Structure 1
């Protein structure tokens, strides 16, 4: 990998932030497709790609139904686009591996959002209300398992974050 490519990838990982406030400006269809393509290219066990996406644009009746399923309803209501990430139970082969793949898929999408100059937040708390959330989205809870809801829009805030020191995360010191 070329040095500038490596730097760009690492920089994106370090600069990406969770954005919970959005302007009134729309998100273009092409931008949404770019984000979905990034998710589509995530790794998965046996390359089974069990994730499925539901895109809900601002003003869709499902936006309010989803907002009512989470304590972060204010974020859901302000988003220009919501991307529901689900696992298709008929495409799954291993819970742990498929959940890990969904996490990789979501991270790819969040990095794509950042690369496009958009903002997003991974809403995970909403899954505490599954299967009601899946039904609110108009899907079959027997078939689709919700992994996350991404709220997306043009940033109306600066993100901030800090991280624990690497030494605090290591189970033993690096050799």
Structure 2
């Protein structure tokens, strides 16, 4: 018998064969059962009343024709421990229990002498502003302030054109760099 296989109707009608050894499962992984029926379709009931700290599962009634997979989810935040799964068939006349041990895999600490993986470091491209952009910005600002004082529309248009030219130069310098 494989570790997580449950045989139904193999020896006689409503017979039930479950794993004898406790099943071990890591936290956050589903406990998978393969249900194999050798006879007529049968109702199989799973219940785990003492498993609240390990899973949300409490009870499931399953109709098994031939073969099927049943997954019992184990919480990712579960602590190590044990619980029982009651398996019932034959309208309650045949019962058995499966012990489950929830384990946390041991984390292997890295040895200090071992070289650590070197990840590439992202270096941002140089973001300095070209001097011509600074000149356009300063000239545009002075033209705008001068326009504010004398109110000649040509100065306002020139200030806008200088600032816009500075923006374009800055944008093109970043696209090519």
If the length of structure 1 is used for normalisation, what is the TM-score? 0.24
More helix by share: 1
Larger radius of gyration: 2
Greater RCO (Cα-Cα under 8 Å, separation 6 or more): 1
More strand by share: 2
